[in-house]
Amino acid sequence: MVKQVTIWKLQDKCFGPNLGEIKGNIKSNFEQLKGKVPGLEHIEVTVDCMSSSNGDVIMTAEFEDEISLKQRQSNEYWGAALKQTVVPFVDETTHVEFVV
């Protein structure tokens, strides 16, 4: 099993009245991918990060193997979630993958 932890830092423009909606959309769009992305065994998005954190949204995903992890990028549902909820609002992405 391979685990991926992704940390997203939102753009400054997001910190206003729509912040909760933006974070909620990221969370719901990614968490609904289980069963739609082959090899994705678990996914969880955390949106309530402490102010001392280096990011604003954290996604933890577990994949069957490294092949599944790599193939998720070409999955249409994964791509749509990125395009709709990450690309317009995220300034920085940091991630780490490791074998569990």
The tens digit of pLDDT for each residue in 8-40 reads 999 999 999 999 999 999 999 999 999 999 999
**Domains held by the chain: number:** 1
Q: What is the C-alpha to C-alpha distance for residues 69 and 8, in angstroms, rounded to an integer?
A: 18
Domain that holds residue 93: 2-99
Q: Model's pTM, two decimal places? A: 0.93
Residue 95 pLDDT exceeds 90:
yes
Contact 53, 10 (CB under 8 A): no
Residue 73: predicted pLDDT: 93
pLDDT at residue 77, as a whole number: 98
> Percent of the chain at pLDDT above 90?
97
- CATH code: domain of residue 48: 3.30.70.100
Q: What is the DSSP pairing of strand 90-99 with strand 40-46?
A: unpaired
Separation CA 56–CA 45 (nearest Å): 11
